[in-house]
Structure 1
Amino acid sequence: MVNSSAIETVFSVYAAAVVIPGPNFVAITQKAVAGRRSDALALVAGIVTVNLFWATCAILGIGMVFAIFPWLAVGVRLAGAAYLIWFGLRLVVSARATPSGSRHPTKAPLFRAAFLQGIATNIANPKSIAFYAAVFSSAVPTHVSMPTFFAVLATVGATATCWYGAVALVLSHAAIATAYRRAKAWIDLTCGGLMIALGIRQALR
């Protein structure tokens, strides 16, 4: 039997957290306005996949694992910070490139590459790791039935897909993409700067 109270708690906690801008939001924004819509949606798919992974780990007790092995939490945090800084530097460097006259450059990333980028971005996302290890873990009952377990995962997957998918679809609109090409340097610099700042902040915590 599904624990409806647990599902409602998970939804309220997760919905409030997922809409707060972070590395995932920045990555989707940049991909949606700079690339193809299919690439942006592939990125979303990668991010959602990792959300399901972290949710599963949280239900199984990832918070306890990090408490027992604090060095593991530090390693994950530093690795994530390094990736965010690297990704931010790539965006800053790309800001100097002249925007293409076409919305779909010849060497645009393929679906698989965008999907893997979504996985890498979210697996290294300190916001996700901290949320699932602490807040999400405490929102889920210690022992859940199998139906409740899958219902929780379905709630996480549906919420993340709806929110991030909507962001990707809206920002990949042709008019927004055209505006991006006019302000490419500033947008890439802003997104890159945010990524670098998030990475540095995470590394120094």
Structure 2
Amino acid sequence: MEWLSLAVLGLLIVISPGADFVLVLKNSVNQGRQAGIWTAIGVSLAICVHISYSMLGISYLISQNEQLFDMIRYAGAAYLIYLGLKGILSADNKLAPIEGAKQSTSVWRYLAQGFLCNVLNPKTMLFFLSIFSQVISPDAQNQHIALGYGLYMIVLHGLWFGIVAMLFTSSTLQKHLLRAKKRLNQACGFGLVTFGALLAIKS
């Protein structure tokens, strides 16, 4: 597969709306820009895990073990549903400025949320398995190229979700988001629950 095609494919995968996007958006709107950026960093760190086991060939073994794959799938689904329900139940109409929102929890919590949301997603695992099966040759002579592509994906995730966090906490959008904060929170919550449910029921 041509490297330009791989680069474009990676970009499309990253910017397409998914559970990671919804989580970064929810944390940014609820807790401010810093929370969104730390969530984005957590997502990027999770990509390191996917790259590591893809290059080691562990992802192939997992994909061939139905029980182990189901355990990962259900764990990911449960975590997404938990985050979604929490967002729905905690949604409110308060019009406190986003940047002035009280940071009631440690940044490590947002880091962990982003990390777990991505690392427990078997779709991401299978994506990296399919991509690295094209990048890594059987004779293992191009490991450095595969590593370079992995670093590209890490940076791409961090940049994109960092932009999402900054965009949705900007002063331009802030006044409009505040008016619909409860509905936006509920929409994000329903989105996470939906992603989790679909992940759980998909065979």
Class of the TM-score when normalised by the shorter of the 2 chains? 0.7 to 0.9
User: What are structure 2's unaligned runs of at least 5 residues?
Assistant: none
User: What are structure 1's unaligned runs of at least 5 residues?
Assistant: none
Q: What is the distance in 2 between the residues matched to 1:177 and 1:153?
A: 34
8 Å Cα contact 1:43/1:117 also seen in 2: yes
8 Å Cα contact 1:32/1:171 also seen in 2: yes
Question: CA 1:158–1:7 in structure 2 vs 1: closer, same or farther (change >3 Å)?
Answer: farther
Q: What is the distance in 2 between the residues matched to 1:68 and 1:29?
A: 34
8 Å Cα contact 1:22/1:127 also seen in 2: no
Q: What is the distance in 1 between the residues matched to 2:108 and 2:50?
A: 21
Question: CA 1:187–1:144 in structure 2 vs 1: closer, same or farther (change >3 Å)?
Answer: farther
Q: Could you say which residue in structure 2 is the equivalent of 1:91? A: 87
Q: What is the distance in 2 between the residues matched to 1:144 and 1:21?
A: 35
SS of the residue aligned with 1:172?
coil
Tell me how many residue pairs correspond in the alignment: 199
Confirm or deny that 1:166 pairs with 2:177: no
Kindly report structure 1 stretches of 4+ aligned residues shifted beyond 3 Å: 5-10
What is the percent sequence identity of the aligned residues? Answer: 22
Which of 190, 193, 196 is 1:199 aligned to? 196
Offset of 1:146 from its aligned partner?
Answer: 4.4
Q: What is the distance in 2 between the residues matched to 1:188 and 1:144?
A: 48
Alignment of 1:14-93 (within 5 A): 14-93=10-89
**Considering only aligned residues, what root-mean-square deviation do their CA atoms show, in Å?**
2.1
Question: CA 1:81–1:20 in structure 2 vs 1: closer, same or farther (change >3 Å)?
Answer: same
Which of 178, 183, 186 is 1:186 aligned to? 183
**Which of 83-92 and 159-168 deviates more?**
159-168
Q: Could you say which residue in structure 2 is the equivalent of 1:124? A: 120
Q: Which amino acid aligns with 2:22?
A: V
Offset of 1:7 from its aligned partner?
Answer: 4.8
Offset of 1:163 from its aligned partner?
Answer: 1.5
Calculate the TM-score normalised by the size of structure 1: 0.86
Question: CA 1:130–1:67 in structure 2 vs 1: closer, same or farther (change >3 Å)?
Answer: closer
Q: Could you say which residue in structure 2 is the equivalent of 1:153? A: 150
Which of 128, 132, 148 is 1:137 aligned to? 132
8 Å Cα contact 2:81/2:196 also seen in 1: yes
8 Å Cα contact 1:6/1:141 also seen in 2: no
Calculate the TM-score normalised by the size of structure 2: 0.87
Q: What is the distance in 2 between the residues matched to 1:138 and 1:98?
A: 48
Offset of 1:187 from its aligned partner?
Answer: 0.6
